[in-house]
């Protein structure tokens, strides 16, 4: 597998880049945060999707290196934006393996310190399926991230089967409704019922709700009517380079 061979050198050869997709306040329309999404510029294949290379990295033991690169790059970028007067939180995605990485919390803490970034300005997105693993290692990481003061977000919510009592115990601040439900929102009464119930549940537990994959104004209207807090999707912006989102966000004001 030549992708595997090439991925080993991706960091040292400067082939990685973070793209960012904004999260928008559902009521005011203001940018609240930018989610970092990893991109790999392969020398001959062009852009390779993280859907392809993250599983390879996890399987062959270099997710740690990629993940640490993402943490450092996201915090550095946040510092650049702050210095440009742009106020938005930054979100990173943490994989299953990163949640089991013994020094993950220390790494995040070091990156925050190096960029003089307040922990509450960083959000860590962890998919519901990883959260549901509920092993000791993952529970410990969750707790220690909570103690560090970073915000925790349960990503792709609705695809796993979280028990309500377990959700209640998590030190999370945010829940992201999976794109699949948002896609069906206008056509399907069932999808509407699920999203409505998820928003009520999340609010009852003190979580803010982000809908991902919002592509149409119809979806936006339904979500706003249901009290969804933040929206993310192609309707507002695609993932873009750090420079592009800076211009986009300043333009917006
Ligand atoms: O833009 P999109 O194609 O980026 O992302 C595809 C998938 O890859 C999403 O599920 C997203 O969460 C995941 N992903 C993107 N960047 C990262 C990253 O830095 N770390 C992890 N663990 N997952 C990521
Ligand atoms: O799993 P996670 O939520 O981290 O993944 C984000 C993924 O969703 C990225 O691949 C991103 O490019 C993609 N994405 C973001 N907004 C939209 C959208 O409006 N429609 C679709 N189809 N994909 C989206
Ligand atoms: Mn995410
Ligand atoms: Na998601």
Amino acid 156: pLDDT: 93
Check if the beta carbon of residue 240 is closer than 8 Å to that of residue 20: yes
Give the lowest-confidence range in 14-18, 78-82, 155-159, 223-227.
155-159
Task: Tell me the CA–centroid distance for residue 4 and ligand 4, in Å.
Answer: 25
Q: For residue 161, what pLDDT band results from cuts at 50, 70 and 90?
A: confident
pLDDT, one tens digit per residue, over 38-52 is 999 999 999 999 999
> How confident is the prediction for the chain on average, in pLDDT?
94
From start to end of 83-121, where are the E strands? 89-93
Residue 130: give the domain boundaries: 2-252
Which ligand 2 atom lies nearest to the CA of residue 50?
A: 10
Ligand nearest the Cα of residue 182 is 2
- Average pLDDT value for residue range 170-176: 93
What would the mean pLDDT of 160-175 be, rounded to a whole number? 83
Residue matched to tokens 């930018």: 34
Q: At what angle do helices 104-114 and 63-83 cross, to 10 degrees?
A: 30
The DSSP result for 170-181, as a single string, is S---EEEE-HHH
pLDDT given at position 216? 98
Atom from ligand 2 closest to the CA of residue 21: 15
Find out whether 239 and 19 touch, Cβ atoms under 8 Å.
yes
Distance CA 27, CA 68 (A): 35
**Per-residue pLDDT tens over the stretch 65-122:** 999 999 999 999 999 999 999 989 999 999 999 999 999 999 999 999 999 999 999 9
Residues 249 and 253: their CA atoms lie apart, in Å, by: 7
User: What residues does the ion ligand 4 have nearby, CB within 5 Å?
Assistant: 155-156, 212
Q: Write out the H or E segment, with its range, that includes residue 146.
A: helix 136-148
Pocket of ligand 1 (CB under 6 A): 37-38, 49-51, 54, 70, 93-95, 239
Q: What is the pLDDT of residue 131?
A: 87
Give me the pLDDT at residue 195, please: 95
pLDDT above 90 covers a percentage of the chain that reads 88
Question: 162: pLDDT confidence band, cut at 50, 70 and 90?
Answer: confident
- Which atom number of ligand 1 is nearest to the Cα of residue 21? 1
Give me the CATH number covering residue 22. 3.20.20.450
Task: Please write the tens of the pLDDT for every residue from 130-147.
Answer: 988 888 999 999 999 999
Give the number of other CB atoms < 10 A from CB of residue 4.
Answer: 13
Predicted TM-score (pTM) of the model is 0.96
For the chain, give the percent of residues with pLDDT over 70.
99
Res. 251 pLDDT band, cuts 50 70 90: confident
Q: For 155-159, 224-228, 248-252, which range has the lowest pLDDT when averaged over its residues? A: 248-252
Stated length of the chain: 253
Is the pLDDT confidence value at 32 over 90?
Answer: yes
Q: How many domains is the chain built from?
A: 1
Identify the DSSP state of 49: P
* CA angle (203, 230, 114) in 5-degree steps: 100
pLDDT at residue 75 in the model: 98
Bridge partners (DSSP) of residue 146 are none
Q: How many CA atoms lie within 13 A of 134 on its CB side?
A: 10
Q: Is the pLDDT of residue 215 over 60?
A: yes
Query: Using a 6 Å cutoff on CB, does residue 166 contact ligand 2?
Result: no
Can you tell me the mean pLDDT for 166-182?
91
Are the CB atoms for 208 and 198 separated by under 8 Å?
no
């Amino acid at each position: 597998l030549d992708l595997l061979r090439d991925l080993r050198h991706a960091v040292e050869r400067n082939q990685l880049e973070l793209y960012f997709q904004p999260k928008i306040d559902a009521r005011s329309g203001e940018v609240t945060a930018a989610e970092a999404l990893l991109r790999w510029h392969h020398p001959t294949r062009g852009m390779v999707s993280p859907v392809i290379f993250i599983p390879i990295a996890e399987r062959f033991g270099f997710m740690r290196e990629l993940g640490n690169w993402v943490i450092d790059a996201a915090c550095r970028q946040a510092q650049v934006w702050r210095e440009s007067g742009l106020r938005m939180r930054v979100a990173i995605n943490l994989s299953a393996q990163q949640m089991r990485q013994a020094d993950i919390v220390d790494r995040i803490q070091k990156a925050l310190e190096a960029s003089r970034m307040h922990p509450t300005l960083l959000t860590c997105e962890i998919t519901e399926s990883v959260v549901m693993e509920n092993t000791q290692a993952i529970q410990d990481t969750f707790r220690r991230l909570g103690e560090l003061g970073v915000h925790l977000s349960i990503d792709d919510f609705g695809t796993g089967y979280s028990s309500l009592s377990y959700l209640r115990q998590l030190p999370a601040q945010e829940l992201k409704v999976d794109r699949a439900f948002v896609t069906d929102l206008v056509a399907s009464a069932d999808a509407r019922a699920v999203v409505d119930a998820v928003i009520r549940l999340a609010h009852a537990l003190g979580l803010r709700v982000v809908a991902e994959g919002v592509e149409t104004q119809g979806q936006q209207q339904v979500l706003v009517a249901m009290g969804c807090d933040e929206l993310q999707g192609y309707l507002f912006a695609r993932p873009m380079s750090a420079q592009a989102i800076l211009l986009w966000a300043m333009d917006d004001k």
